[in-house]
Amino acid sequence: MKNFLCRLWTLSLQPRALPWLALATGFWLGCLSWLRPLHLPDEGRYVGVAWDMTRFDSPWVPLMNGLPYFHKPPLFYWLDEWSFALLGVHEWSARLPSWVAAWSTAIGLYLFVRKYRGAEVATVTLLVLVTMPLFYGASQYANLDMLVAGMMSLTVLAGAEAVLRSESGQAYRAMTLAAAAGAGLAILSKGLIGVVLPGGVLFFWLVLTGRWRKIGVFLWLPAVALFLLVTVPWFVAMQWRYPEFFHYYFIVQQYERFVGESFNNTQPLWFYLPVIFGMSLPWSAWTLGLLSPAFWKSDAGKTSVLMLIWFLLIAVFFSIPASKLIGYAVPTLPPLAVLAAEVIVRAMGGKWSVHVVRTLSISFVAVVIACLAGIGVFRFIQSDSARGMGALVAAQGTPDDIFIYSHSFPFDLAFYSGARHPAWVVDDWPAIPVGDNWRNELLDATRFSPALGKEVMVSFTELIPRMCQTTDRVFWLRGDQWEAGRWSFLEGLAPVLQQADDGRLWRVKTDAAFKARFCPA
């Protein structure tokens, strides 16, 4: 067994092992992406927007319940639409963009480190990164965090490669173009941070390492043109169609969300320290070796400056806003993996004995088990998924049926049911308190489509008269246990399904009996 581990390690360092490492990495990062239903609210929200764009044939405009939804740019939604078209509508196809971004990041980082730090550091970096619990979980989570982290990481790597090639007299223009395209895609992933953060990392790296003259590498006109070609068309098209778009997207959703304190998930300044350290164990513990002055005097320290700047800039940037989410820490993990790998390899002193390989193998197996167990546990603690409810409606309903969401908005129900019409959302419209929730997201969306907003945003007093205007239409009302006392037409009518979180579903048909009882003559 000992000799087998050492031989396996030796083989992994050979150039011919790259295809197998890439395949194994891809399989590992996506192997359980089918296991659990969409998590709410985030996965349901972003996958729901992509599904809306698909079902309403809206390739340019992101939609929520048929209404324009401009909280985020469209790259994730586009990738999800293509995934649905190619692979069908499933949870794992909805998570494909995150998986592709994670896989691309891991392999891109491996290739960069292998070129400049050797096979040992690169291989350890790859193993560390893909078994960090936060990175592994984000690779199988259908929201924007892994996608923007991947685009920013590839932009930094391509930009650094362009500079280093230029320094050594090699052709570098292709990598400059790659960095420009990556920055553009990062903006389409989540906004201006897509260029501000990787641009900041590269800028401070150039300045602090005395390479500031190489800033010109990125000012090549074709690269600037490519960046604009990737980013500008969608934003201009949206502004052309919706005159309020620039103000809403750049001021409200980008600037005010960064500096404001009225949004959800307010956390202290130090929030990301335990998050990053705890959710990248056991590997993050090795980074304590960075505190040794001897490390920074070694070759490992000289080449780790880029990674340290990369890690610190992003960690500090996301620590400034009052609103903080765990997923915002994902872009810090690639440089952290490199730093941990550098410490590990240096600590070994080039002596990869059987004992060392066995110790690292035990750590690797332990964290793999922890990652798999975490996904498995997460699968069984979700009680609010609409998977079962959607399957029932898909089996018993028709394309003409309409959902009524009473005092609720299940983001994933349209996805699971295959609904073809926007739902009627019943609440105290328009008297909704300002806040960071689905109600205000829908209200914001109505400013871009007031006519459709009047159709789908229904007040409590309007619901029954609206239903009375239809004939033999089937409605599926989704609400909670209080709905039976709120609506006269539910008295004595048993719900067809009840979820674990007390969400309930009733089937109501506006037939002659309904009209005789509830509709005025």
Q: For residues 47 and 433, is the Cβ–Cβ distance under 8 A?
A: no
Per-position b or e across 148-160, b if 16+ CB within 10 A of its CB = bbbbbbbbbbbbb
Q: Where are the domains of the chain?
A: 2-30+95-380, 387-518
- Amino acid at residue number 276: I
Bond from prior residue into 41 cis (ω within 30 degrees of 0): yes
DSSP for 281-338 reads TTGGGGGGGGG-HHHHHSHHHHHTHHHHHHHHHHHHHHHSSSB--GGGGGGGHHHHHH
Helix axis angle, 96-117 relative to 119-130, nearest 10°? 160
Identify the CA nearest to 276 among candidates 227, 315, 316. 315
- So what's the pLDDT on residue 2? 52
pLDDT given at position 260: 57
- The pLDDT assigned to 83 comes to 96
Which ranges of 213-304 would DSSP assign to H, the alpha helix? 221-241, 245-246, 257-259, 272-278, 293-297, 299-303
What is the distance between the alpha carbons of residues 224 and 324, in angstroms, rounded to a whole number? 32
Structure tokens at 513: 């009996």
Check residue 438 and give its pLDDT: 81
pLDDT at 1: 47
> Whole-angstrom Cα distance, residue 445 to residue 484?
30
Report the relative pairing of strands 504-509 and 474-479 from DSSP bridges.
antiparallel
What CA–CA distance (Å, rounded) separates 144 from 149?
8
Distance, in Å, from the CA atom of 277 to the CA atom of 279, rounded to the nearest integer, reads 6
Average pLDDT per consecutive 10 residues, the chain (521 residues; last block may be shorter): 54 70 88 86 93 94 94 94 93 95 96 90 91 92 94 96 91 93 95 92 92 88 95 95 88 70 67 84 81 76 86 90 82 94 79 62 73 68 80 90 92 92 89 75 89 91 91 91 83 84 87 87 68
CB 447 within 8 A of CB 68: no
Residue 276 pLDDT: 86
Q: How far apart are CA 394 and CA 416, in angstroms?
A: 8
State residue 51's pLDDT score: 95
Residues 6 or more apart whose CB falls under 8 angstroms from that of 365 comprise none
The confidence score (pLDDT) of residue 263 equals 58
Q: Which residues contact 341 (CB under 8 A, 6 or more apart)?
A: 113, 121, 122, 124, 125, 128
Residues 315 and 329 sit within 8 Å (Cβ to Cβ): yes
Residue 21 CA from chain centroid, whole number: 25
What is the Cα 269 distance to its own chain's centre? 23
Half-sphere exposure of 349 (CA within 13 A, CB side): 2
> What span, in angstroms and rounded, lies between the C-alpha atoms of 170 and 163?
10
- What's the burial of 68, exposed, middle or buried (CB within 10 Å: 0-12/13-18/19+)? buried
DSSP 419: -
Cβ 422 vs Cβ 456: under 8 Å: yes
What's the CA gap between 219 and 359, in Å, rounded? 47
pLDDT of residue 301: 67
pLDDT at 164: 93
Answer whether 271's CB lies under 8 Å from 325's CB: no
